[in-house]
Chains A and B, each alone.
Chain A
């Protein structure tokens, strides 16, 4: 991305689907894209991939100047070789200046492949894209060194590619009018697929980002049985909050006690509940990055030196096995 002052720019956003629905991250991307296209006096373009997606293309058109609808029976399910090839074809036709997609599990693989195919550079896991002071360059801002520093990168190549971390909380307004919809035929076939999907094993579907309260456990929970206390606390909190969920930091997920969809942090989910109760969680920056949007944070940890207390609103130093049952009992009685 060289001099921004040159000409009309094209900002391309990749819409995300969750089956037959537009995934929430899409609207965050569109919010960011809208700001960028305004600042750069550019065109906000969205592309969506899938099978029979006219309704979805129509919907994103309310948020974009142009929609590139890539409709193909083979694009029904995400398959990285096909998606990368289809998007490469689109980019080689419309020459976007900026390509932004969500930092989602699928795109962890898709984005670098596409960047490599297009011979450009990609900055992953960005928390913001901003124009530097002189107004000439777009900077990609991302946390590095386990969230202990924030680096801004300046990419000279075109298109500038970035993945945006979910939870940037930008809102976007739905316009009454619609942008132009272009049906772009992806030149793909089965021979491009280098891997084969044998089976999809569905897991528990959890939306931590929609929870009003979260009770989360970490390394301090010594056995899978210890989760019982946490589950009971989740139950009793339902008295106060419509949607309460059980979450965890990475060690409990790696141990296989809870599914990945319940992991909070930089390699998991980001949540903004009214109440977050961290139990036996030391508070590493990688975990905190997923929960700092919480209105109130309660930390329960036997180690008074644990960094979690520096980022908590309420702290209890003590063994969770003794603290939690008393807390539950009292909450029941209130």
Chain B
């Protein structure tokens, strides 16, 4: 079998595991400003990366990661190189600020076309910042290739993509010809950890930067997200009654009594 060309789209986001206080809301500028939390690779994109690397483990393949932003923090993306990605392409341009999903998919598709000769494209289910979850499906539409959504496991067999697609109750096994686009959900397993040596080497490795002018893109077609208003979430606060006790056992017993006393049970 020939070497597979696998493209993974990844995005930097402020760590979604950060505490709520780390997300400051500037309602005037309609922006969320992360405070004191580092940028990370979007968790669902890490799942997509792991899916790509699992394919590479089992077949001959070359993994190319593509990331797009107005401005990127390259050390974060170098994590991709440290875990086994062969090539990193950063799409960076002032025009890419606050684009809507269709425009993001348009830029990524242009980069994917420029790379060319791809067999599988992997995309995370949704990004932890704006949470739109539609870029993958739109890329498949633009490139006119088959796509499988919500994939929790993927393999290549007889030149076809075989994927497990998550359903509400159970899952489906779906087959598609190559090239295909796979939208990855969690459940594929955590992204593998790089060794210290891999991290050091990745830091020294070069990556490509493609600007708007390097791609076949009509800047007129790029549209921004149309945010009208940005507000803090409604309060999630409740008054918590803490159950005291000398030991965890005693607390457990007292909890039962408290629930009964307050007619919760």
Q: A residues within 8 Å of B by Cβ?
A: 80, 104-105, 108-109, 111-113, 115-117, 121-125, 132, 137, 139, 142-156, 194-206, 237, 240-241, 250, 253-254, 256, 259-261, 266-267, 274-275, 284-286, 288, 292, 296-300, 307, 309-319, 322-331, 334
Sample 8 A-B pairs with CB under 8 A, ordered by A number: A104-B168, A112-B141, A116-B142, A124-B133, A149-B32, A150-B233, A198-B174, A307-B20
Q: What residues on B are CB-neighbors of A296 within 8 Å? A: 264
Question: Once the chains bind, are B228 and A153 in contact (CB under 8 Å)?
Answer: yes
How many A-B pairs have beta carbons closer than 8 Å: the answer is 274
Question: Once the chains bind, are A285 and B183 in contact (CB under 8 Å)?
Answer: no
Instruction: Please name 19 further chain A to chain B contacts, defined as beta carbons within 8 Å, in addition to the given A196-B176, A330-B256, sorted by A numbering.
Output: A108-B149, A109-B150, A113-B141, A145-B32, A148-B232, A194-B177, A201-B173, A203-B167, A275-B259, A275-B265, A298-B255, A309-B240, A315-B241, A315-B243, A316-B243, A323-B248, A324-B252, A328-B252, A330-B252
Question: Once the chains bind, are A116 and B252 in contact (CB under 8 Å)?
Answer: no
Knowing A112-B137, A254-B187, the reply to whether A314 touches B255 (Cβ < 8 A) is yes
Question: Once the chains bind, are A112 and B134 in contact (CB under 8 Å)?
Answer: yes
Question: Once the chains bind, are A149 and B25 in contact (CB under 8 Å)?
Answer: yes
How distant is the Cα of A280 from the Cα of B253 in the complex, in angstroms?
Answer: 18
Question: Once the chains bind, are A323 and B249 in contact (CB under 8 Å)?
Answer: yes
Question: Once the chains bind, are B238 and A310 in contact (CB under 8 Å)?
Answer: yes
Whether a CB of chain A sits under 8 angstroms from the CB of B19 is yes
How distant is the Cα of A318 from the Cα of B243 in the complex, in angstroms?
Answer: 10
Question: Once the chains bind, are B232 and A150 in contact (CB under 8 Å)?
Answer: yes
How distant is the Cα of A105 from the Cα of B248 in the complex, in angstroms?
Answer: 40
Q: What residues on A are CB-neighbors of B72 within 8 Å? A: none
Minimum Cβ distance to chain A for residue B235 (Å): 9
Question: Once the chains bind, are A285 and B141 in contact (CB under 8 Å)?
Answer: no
Q: What residues on A are CB-neighbors of B253 within 8 Å? A: 326-327, 329-330
Knowing A109-B137, A315-B242, A330-B256, the reply to whether A261 touches B131 (Cβ < 8 A) is no
The listed residue (A146, A201, A309, A319) touching B128 by CB distance below 8 A is A146
Which 8 pairs from chain A and chain B are nearest by CB? A326-B252, A203-B170, A112-B134, A322-B248, A194-B146, A109-B149, A330-B256, A318-B248
Whether a CB of chain A sits under 8 angstroms from the CB of B210 is no
Minimum Cβ distance to chain B for residue A81 (Å): 8
The listed residue (A112, A123, A250, A316) touching B186 by CB distance below 8 A is A250
The listed residue (B32, B162, B236) touching A311 by CB distance below 8 A is B236
Whether a CB of chain A sits under 8 angstroms from the CB of B86 is no
How distant is the Cα of A324 from the Cα of B253 in the complex, in angstroms?
Answer: 9
How distant is the Cα of A198 from the Cα of B19 in the complex, in angstroms?
Answer: 42
Question: Once the chains bind, are B232 and A201 in contact (CB under 8 Å)?
Answer: no
Give the interface size class of chain B: 35 or more
How distant is the Cα of A57 from the Cα of B120 in the complex, in angstroms?
Answer: 40
How distant is the Cα of A122 from the Cα of B133 in the complex, in angstroms?
Answer: 10
Whether a CB of chain A sits under 8 angstroms from the CB of B16 is yes
Contact with A along B3-38 (1 / 0, CB 8 A): 000000000001011011001010000101000000
Q: What residues on A are CB-neighbors of B240 within 8 Å? A: 299, 309-310, 312-315
How distant is the Cα of A104 from the Cα of B190 in the complex, in angstroms?
Answer: 25
Question: Once the chains bind, are A311 and B238 in contact (CB under 8 Å)?
Answer: yes
Minimum Cβ distance to chain A for residue B146 (Å): 4
Question: Once the chains bind, are B131 and A144 in contact (CB under 8 Å)?
Answer: yes
Q: What residues on A are CB-neighbors of B258 within 8 Å? A: 314
Knowing A105-B168, A314-B255, A315-B243, the reply to whether A147 touches B137 (Cβ < 8 A) is no
How distant is the Cα of A299 from the Cα of B101 in the complex, in angstroms?
Answer: 38
How distant is the Cα of A109 from the Cα of B139 in the complex, in angstroms?
Answer: 12
The listed residue (A108, A153, A311) touching B225 by CB distance below 8 A is A153
Q: What residues on A are CB-neighbors of B115 within 8 Å? A: none
How distant is the Cα of A311 from the Cα of B167 in the complex, in angstroms?
Answer: 30
Interface centre among A240, A310, A327 (most CB of B within 10 A): A327
Minimum Cβ distance to chain B for residue A123 (Å): 8
Minimum Cβ distance to chain A for residue B176 (Å): 4
Question: Once the chains bind, are A113 and B171 in contact (CB under 8 Å)?
Answer: no
Whether a CB of chain A sits under 8 angstroms from the CB of B227 is yes
The listed residue (A143, A154, A199) touching B233 by CB distance below 8 A is A143
Whether a CB of chain A sits under 8 angstroms from the CB of B166 is yes
Minimum Cβ distance to chain B for residue A295 (Å): 8
Q: What residues on A are CB-neighbors of B150 within 8 Å? A: 105, 108-109
Minimum Cβ distance to chain A for residue B99 (Å): 12
Q: What residues on B are CB-neighbors of A132 within 8 Å? A: 228
How distant is the Cα of A188 from the Cα of B189 in the complex, in angstroms?
Answer: 38
Whether a CB of chain A sits under 8 angstroms from the CB of B97 is no
Question: Once the chains bind, are A105 and B166 in contact (CB under 8 Å)?
Answer: yes
Q: What residues on A are CB-neighbors of B183 within 8 Å? A: 109
Question: Once the chains bind, are B251 and A148 in contact (CB under 8 Å)?
Answer: no
Question: Once the chains bind, are A197 and B233 in contact (CB under 8 Å)?
Answer: no
Knowing A117-B141, A201-B170, A314-B243, the reply to whether A148 touches B236 (Cβ < 8 A) is no
Residue of B nearest to A269 (CB): B168
Residue of B nearest to A325 (CB): B252
Question: Once the chains bind, are B129 and A113 in contact (CB under 8 Å)?
Answer: no
How distant is the Cα of A197 from the Cα of B163 in the complex, in angstroms?
Answer: 10
